[in-house]
Amino acid sequence: MTAEVATPRTVEEAVKPRKKKPVRSDRAKAEARLGWMLAGPAFVVMLLVTVYPILQACYDSLFSYRLTAPDDKAFIGLRNYIEVITDPVFLQALLVTVVIMVVSVIVELVLGFALALVMHRAITQLRGLLRTAILVPYGIITVVSAFAWFYAFDINSGFVNHWFGWVPGISTDLNWFAQQGTSLFVIIASEIWKTTPFISLLLLAGLAQVPSELEEAAEVDGATWWQRLTRVVLPNMKAAIMVAVLFRALDAFRIFDNVFIMTNGANDTTVLSLLAYRTSIGRLEIGLGSAISVILFLCVILICFIAIKLFKVDLAGARGES
Amino acid sequence: MRRRTRAVALAALAGLVLPLAACSSDEGGPPTLTWYINPDDGGQAEIAKRCTEAADGAYRITTSVLPRDASAQREQLARRLAAKDSSIDIMSLDPPFIPELAEPGFLAPIPEDVATKVSKDVVQGALAGATWKDKLVAVPFWANTQLLWYRKSVAEKAGLDPAKEPVTWKQLIDVAKEQDKLLAVQGTKAESLTVWINALVESAGGHVLTNPEAPADELKLGLETDAGKAAAEVMSSIGKQGLGGPGLPTADENASLTLFQGDKGSFMVNWPFVWSATNAAVKDGTLDQSLVDDIGWALYPGMKEGEKSRPPYGGINLGVGAFSSHVDEAFKATECIVTPENQAYYFATNGNPPSNTKSYEDAEVKKAFPMADVIRESLENAAPRPQTPYYNEVSLGLQETWHPPASVDPATTPKKSTDFITAVLRGEQLL
């Protein structure tokens, strides 16, 4: 709950210049120092392993640089960026990435909310077992789950075609990884299967924060189940929903493993991370690949910005800190 | 308390430093050569052991395994060589990627006397695959080629005897259509598709690249020719008529072997590993002996009647790292590794065909691979894939424009792929 209580200010207070720093007690200072000592090493390591490569990528992206032709390295300014942004392969990859992100986040949100409700309302004896069962897919390494889904749908070794032969459109001759639509279906389905538990966990935390008195009051007032859900529960857990959407959207936008294992970009299923990988690691075009990586990074920042500024996601609110 | 802290600190320091000490080479003993090998059934490790013994203290060879996938092997070696890694003494290289490493000087130049020795009695295809700009830059080790594998029952019914009379792709397509059978080819979007396209174009008398040694922006493709169109026609007929089965767009070498072993199997182009794999499956009881008895082999199918085909060429050649501190010893070691005896041993135990013709006379080889002579003949005719430092771009560009096989159109695909690959090579398009 983020409601603020407005405090009347006196004229004096409004006119007075703000104090530079509030005076902190010795205890507060000691706590801050302890905080830095505890978090400091991790912070330094984070800087080393994230900021340094990001800066290096930004620098490399300004060069025409192929790893196997080090002597031909030349500064070309922003030409790599212009080339990437105007390239049909890049635009196609961006579109596929956005489709995967939007579809998977929407489905995961609905499924995740349903699961969260089940976990929230489940009988106490079953709660532990239920939560563990729901969390199993999230505990599986993405590459492993990608292989599992790939082999399940594979035309030679898969069982899906045999089990679901009665569904119109599915037969033993259906090659899921031979067209864009069916390939994306399997990729997105695998993504949803794996990360819905994550969303449901975040939403469960949100559900737990909704005061039961509000629901009870609504019930007493004669509100139906649906009215209680849409008028009381959902508005009160908006912060948790937005945080779940933001985290998953960022995650889904960087999708790599599923596509790499299942199609490796065949049938127009290349996503941005795969394009960056193929350019930097496969083609050894460090300059061009870095430019794609930087653009990918900027896209992620843009999604964060949109979520936090426009949709006003309150990261602290979701944890119940405010 | 303080003493304990100091003890912990000392232990931590020792933990950090000791493993590093283990990395430093031990002075005094014979130099240790590191041979980066592709994963196999233990043959290269055994050869390394034999050569260490034969060196009699002059050097020791240890092996270090590279990733399973050929392109991942290339990525790792290229990155390490670009960083001037001196730990790479000898490396097992996939031939198409040799020019890329030779051009920037990542491979140590082969001394004349070594070049003469290691080229003796070597099949033409393997020599061509180890050469860049008219110079031998890698030591030919083992050489692979694809054969035409066929079900004798199907060929007999169609009145064909591929072992005696070479067959063409058109004949195979006609027989498969008539008898409602499937052709086992590799249509997945991977290196195997490039292998197929290259063999089709070369067999039709053309080349994927007409000037493979030119710089990236001057490379010219030879696809908009009769040969390119003929290749597209074969691939398009197989794809459009469903002769590769529904699994064609994702069929790799193993998937095509499974198809060939099935009820609808008829003809297959594939590497010789299929022979040992099928025999092993019979031994395990998953396949019937009658299947093995029904399998025949012949030279790769041609494009025109009466004209020899140019089968695919693969295998492994040995490069010596330019930044190695033991280049002389490394070359001596490669001479030992590629002796006909070692190559024969490698073929008989691991199923990888020798590049040296002498090895084919080995009794063990003849017993394990009754088709050894056909393999040797196929290697003499084999055409390497385009030898250019930009091979990766060319190969990925072909896969991008010729996949799936059913989408190939002889009228448009050759031009489309020429335009696309040219743009990629000039740096005007992403891949």
pLDDT digits (tens, 9 = 90+) for A173-224: 899 999 999 999 999 999 999 999 999 988 988 888 888 888 889 989 988 9
What whole-number distance in Å separates Cα of residue B267 and Cα of residue B274?
13
Q: What pLDDT does A135 receive?
A: 86
Q: Token match 């039961």: residue?
A: A212
Q: State whether residue A122 sits within 8 Å of chain B by CB.
A: no
pLDDT of residue A314 exceeding 90? no
Q: What pLDDT does A312 receive?
A: 72
Q: Which residue of B has its CA nearest to A67?
A: B82
Q: State whether residue A180 sits within 8 Å of chain B by CB.
A: no
CB pairs < 8 Å spanning A and B: 83
Q: Which residue of B has its CA nearest to A173?
A: B246
CA distances from residue B347 to A271, B38, B62, B139, B367 in whole angstroms, order as listed:
41, 15, 21, 17, 11
Q: Which CATH architecture has domain A87-318?
A: Orthogonal Bundle (1.10)
Q: State whether residue A167 sits within 8 Å of chain B by CB.
A: no
Contact A68 B396 (CB under 8 A): no
| Contact list, B250 vs chain A (CB under 8 Å) | 154-155, 175, 177-178, 266
Q: What is the dihedral of CA B178, B182, A187, A281, to 10 degrees?
A: -120
Mutate to test the interface with A, among B256, B264, B430 (most CBs of A within 10 A): B430
Structure-model confidence comparison of residues B240 and A130, the more confident one: B240
B293 token code pair: 């008895």
Sequence-distant (≥ 6) Cβ neighbours of residue B300 within 8 angstroms: B145, B146, B147, B148, B199, B203, B269, B309, B310, B311, B312, B378
Q: What pLDDT does A248 receive?
A: 92
CB atoms within 10 A of CB B149: 26
pLDDT more than 90, % of chain B: 69
| Contact list, A89 vs chain B (CB under 8 Å) | 429-431
Return mean pLDDT, chain B. 89
Cβ–Cβ < 8 Å for B142, B337: no
Fold of B25-137+314-381: D-Maltodextrin-Binding Protein; domain 2 (3.40.190)
What whole-number distance in Å separates Cα of residue B275 and Cα of residue B174?
25
Which strands form B313-320's sheet, in the order they lie side by side?
A: B60-65, B32-37, B90-93, B313-320, B139-145
Backbone angles phi, psi at B195, to 5 degrees: -60, -45
What whole-number distance in Å separates Cα of residue B10 and Cα of residue B116?
56
**Candidate from A127-131, A141-145, B140-144, B418-422 with smallest mean pLDDT:** A127-131
Q: What pLDDT does A146 receive?
A: 96
B237 sits in which H/E element: helix B226-240
Q: What pLDDT does B366 receive?
A: 81
In this structure, the strands spanning A63-64 and A74-75 are: antiparallel
pLDDT of residue B3 exceeding 70? no
pLDDT band (50, 70, 90) for residue B173? very high
Q: Token match 């299942």: residue?
A: A262
Q: What is the largest CA-CA distance in chain B?
A: 91
Contact B250 A83 (CB under 8 A): no
Contact A282 B403 (CB under 8 A): no
**Radius of gyration, alpha carbons of chain B:** 24
Q: Which residue of A has its CA nearest to B390?
A: A283
Contact A266 B103 (CB under 8 A): no
pLDDT of residue B21 exceeding 50? no
State how far residue A291 is from chain B, nearest Cα, in angstroms.
12
Q: Token match 């459009």: residue?
A: B240
Q: What pLDDT does A8 receive?
A: 42
pLDDT band (50, 70, 90) for residue B9? low
Cβ–Cβ < 8 Å for B145, B295: no
Q: Quote helix, strand, coil % in chain A, to nearest 5.
A: 70, 0, 25
A135 token code pair: 């969390």
- The beta-carbon neighbor of B403 closest among A90, A175, A266 is A266
What whole-number distance in Å separates Cα of residue B207 and Cα of residue A140?
47
Q: Token match 């790799």: residue?
A: B252
The residues pairing with B316 across neighbouring beta strands, listed in sequence order, are B142
| Contact list, B132 vs chain A (CB under 8 Å) | none
| Contact list, B430 vs chain A (CB under 8 Å) | 83-84, 87, 89-90, 275, 279, 288, 292
Average pLDDT of span B201-207:
94
pLDDT of residue A320 exceeding 80? no
A24: exposed, middle or buried (Cβ count in 10 Å: 0-12, 13-18, 19+) = exposed
Structure-model confidence comparison of residues B145 and B367, the more confident one: B145
Dump strand ranges (E) for A128-203. none
| Contact list, B389 vs chain A (CB under 8 Å) | 68-69
What whole-number distance in Å separates Cα of residue A314 and Cα of residue A318?
7
Given this chain, do its domains B25-137+314-381 and B145-312+385-425 carry the same CATH topology? yes
pLDDT of residue B276 exceeding 90? no
What whole-number distance in Å separates Cα of residue A229 and Cα of residue A223?
10
Structure-model confidence comparison of residues A15 and B378, the more confident one: B378
State how far residue A170 is from chain B, nearest Cα, in angstroms.
13
pLDDT band (50, 70, 90) for residue A316? low
Print burial letters for A181-196: b (CB count within 10 Å at least 16), e (below 16).
Answer: ebbbebbbbbbbbbbb
Cβ–Cβ < 8 Å for B144, B273: no
Contact A87 B430 (CB under 8 A): yes
Question: What are the tens digits of pLDDT across the range A235-252?
Answer: 888 888 888 999 999 999
Question: What are the tens digits of pLDDT across the range A14-73?
Answer: 444 555 566 778 898 999 899 999 999 999 998 889 999 999 999 999 999 988 888 888
Backbone angles phi, psi at B98, to 5 degrees: -65, -45
Domain boundaries, chain A: 87-318
Average pLDDT of span B282-295:
92
Number of helices (H) and strands (E), helices first, in chain A?
17, 2
Q: What pLDDT does B44 receive?
A: 93
Domain boundaries, chain B: 25-137+314-381, 145-312+385-425
Q: Which residue of B has its CA nearest to A66?
A: B82
**Candidate from A247-256, B15-24, B179-188, B309-318 with smallest mean pLDDT:** B15-24
Contact A282 B392 (CB under 8 A): yes
What whole-number distance in Å separates Cα of residue B32 and Cα of residue B139?
20
CATH number for the domain running over B145-312+385-425: 3.40.190.10
Among chain B, residues having any CB pair with chain A shorter than 8 Å are: 71, 75, 78-79, 82, 100-101, 103-104, 106, 188-190, 246-250, 255, 258, 389, 392-393, 396, 403-404, 427-431
Q: What pLDDT does B7 receive?
A: 55
Q: State whether residue A155 sits within 8 Å of chain B by CB.
A: yes
B172 token code pair: 């195979």
Contact A87 B104 (CB under 8 A): no
A203 token code pair: 């939403």
The residues pairing with B321 across neighbouring beta strands, listed in sequence order, are B107
Q: What pLDDT does B306 receive?
A: 85
What whole-number distance in Å separates Cα of residue A109 and Cα of residue A115?
10
Contact B104 A84 (CB under 8 A): no
Contact B78 A64 (CB under 8 A): no
**Radius of gyration, alpha carbons of chain A:** 25
